[in-house]
Amino acid sequence: MNLIDLRSDTVTKPSAEMREAMANAVVGDDVYEEDPTVLELEAYAAKLTGKEAALFVTSGTQGNQVAVLTHMRQGEEIIMDDRAHVFLYEGGATAALAGVQSRTLPSDNGKMKIEEIAGAIRMSDVHFPDTGLIWLENTHNKSGGRVLPIDYLAQVKSLADEHRIPVHMDGARLFNAAVASDVEISRITEHTTSVQFCLSKGLGAPVGSILAGDKEFISRARKWRKRLGGGLRQAGVLAAPALLALKNGLDFLKIDHLHANMLAEAVAKLDRVKVENEVETNMVLVNTSETGKTSEDWVAEMKRQGVLAVPYGPLTVRLTTHRDLTESDMKQAIAGITNAWKQLKG
């Protein structure tokens, strides 16, 4: 049986063009900053984000942790939403590596209330940690790929500037946010001090992420990358497909979003299940509570019907579209989900 993989947009395989680019990449030693393909990728990413400089890192988690280590001092505090990826899914790295603590606030699809952010800022009192960073995530993973509005980003940045606190954006799926908002990447990132985005998710590159900011920030970040073991040598073989993904990936994201809406519309026709999220990008969250079956039950039955998905809570299944899926694949996925529903609807 041909399995349709909707677990994540990280499951994509490099295209033939990417493999050819890897084979033909002009390379050098990136620790000496002599790999021309990496340098081209970093310059292109900096231009896209409107930042002075950029750094190629091995993963989104490494990019996020390098940002924390570069921005902050031990004992400081990060303000973030209580369902942020960095809080839930990065192994406690901010505490383990940087020695900083998280101040989590409730959010509405990733949007913390401005007044609550303001109330959480703590400075110049010996009893409290100083606030060293405000953290945003766009798109917001746990909300099903929801997009942070530009006007909200501007409000957060204005508050941060008032208190001289940097703003970092975990933009793992930043390009999905830009496509959904129909804006240039820089319209989003102008409201951040630094930004990390993944090349290996919706854009479809096999490896890597980008961290961008001003020149001084990236210079310090480069040393932290080295300390974390992220100093690569002939990294151009990885940067080459990433550069292709950056230049050619946006059209694929538009298709991914259309495919996610196809899934959402199909699920909406089934009784006793419902779509939890407003589908803005490439994720669909399916609530199974009225079927009396858990997300684990659903994931197991969907696999039997030829569809791979992930549990995203006790009663929530996440479906994620990506560039390797065709319209035919989506029809097969919908048929598999419908067959699973027939078995589990109760």
Label residue 124 by pLDDT band (50, 70, 90).
Answer: confident
The pTM of the full predicted model, rounded to 2 decimals, is: 0.95
Label residue 127 by pLDDT band (50, 70, 90).
Answer: very high
Instruction: Examine the domain organization and report whether 177 and 70 are in the same domain.
Output: yes
Q: What is the pLDDT of residues 236-273, one digit of tens each?
A: 999 999 999 999 878 899 999 999 999 999 999 999 99
Instruction: Examine the domain organization and report whether 261 and 288 are in the same domain.
Output: yes
Cα gap 291→5, rounded to integer Å: 23
User: Mean per-residue pLDDT for 152-161?
Assistant: 98
pLDDT score at 346: 66
pLDDT score at 123: 86
User: Mean per-residue pLDDT for 94-121?
Assistant: 97
Domain presence at residue 164: yes
**Nearest alpha carbon to residue 174 among 192, 160, 151, 157:** 192
Cα gap 280→252, rounded to integer Å: 15
Determine the 3-state secondary structure of 294 from DSSP. Answer: coil
Domain presence at residue 4: no
230, 248, 266: which is the final residue of a domain?
248
pLDDT score at 221: 98
Instruction: Examine the domain organization and report whether 207 and 83 are in the same domain.
Output: yes
Instruction: Examine the domain organization and report whether 214 and 188 are in the same domain.
Output: yes
**134 and 168 in contact (C-beta within 8 Å)?**
yes
**335 and 319 in contact (C-beta within 8 Å)?**
no
Token code pair at residue 87: 């809080």
Structural domain span for residue 328: 250-344
Domain presence at residue 216: yes
- Mean of pLDDT over the chain: 96
**Nearest alpha carbon to residue 244 among 192, 213, 208, 281:** 208
Domain presence at residue 1: no
User: Mean per-residue pLDDT for 219-225?
Assistant: 98
Instruction: Examine the domain organization and report whether 197 and 259 are in the same domain.
Output: no
pLDDT score at 28: 97
**Nearest alpha carbon to residue 340 among 278, 256, 272, 277:** 272
Q: What is the CATH number of the domain that holds 207?
A: 3.40.640.10
**Nearest alpha carbon to residue 102 among 123, 71, 81:** 81
The answer on pLDDT for 222 being more than 90 is yes
Q: 3-state secondary structure string, 117-179?
A: HHHHCCCCCCCCCCEEEEEEECCEHHHCCECCCHHHHHHHHHHHHHHCCCEEEECCCHHHHHH
Instruction: Examine the domain organization and report whether 237 and 293 are in the same domain.
Output: no
Token code pair at residue 106: 């409730």
222, 248, 274: which is the final residue of a domain?
248
Q: What is the pLDDT of residues 292-315, one digit of tens each?
A: 999 999 999 999 999 999 999 999
Q: What is the CATH number of the domain that holds 289?
A: 3.90.1150.10
The answer on pLDDT for 323 being more than 90 is yes
Domain presence at residue 10: no
Tally of domains within the chain? 2
pLDDT score at 249: 79
Q: What is the pLDDT of residues 129-155, one digit of tens each?
A: 999 999 999 999 999 999 999 999 999
Instruction: Examine the domain organization and report whether 277 and 304 are in the same domain.
Output: yes
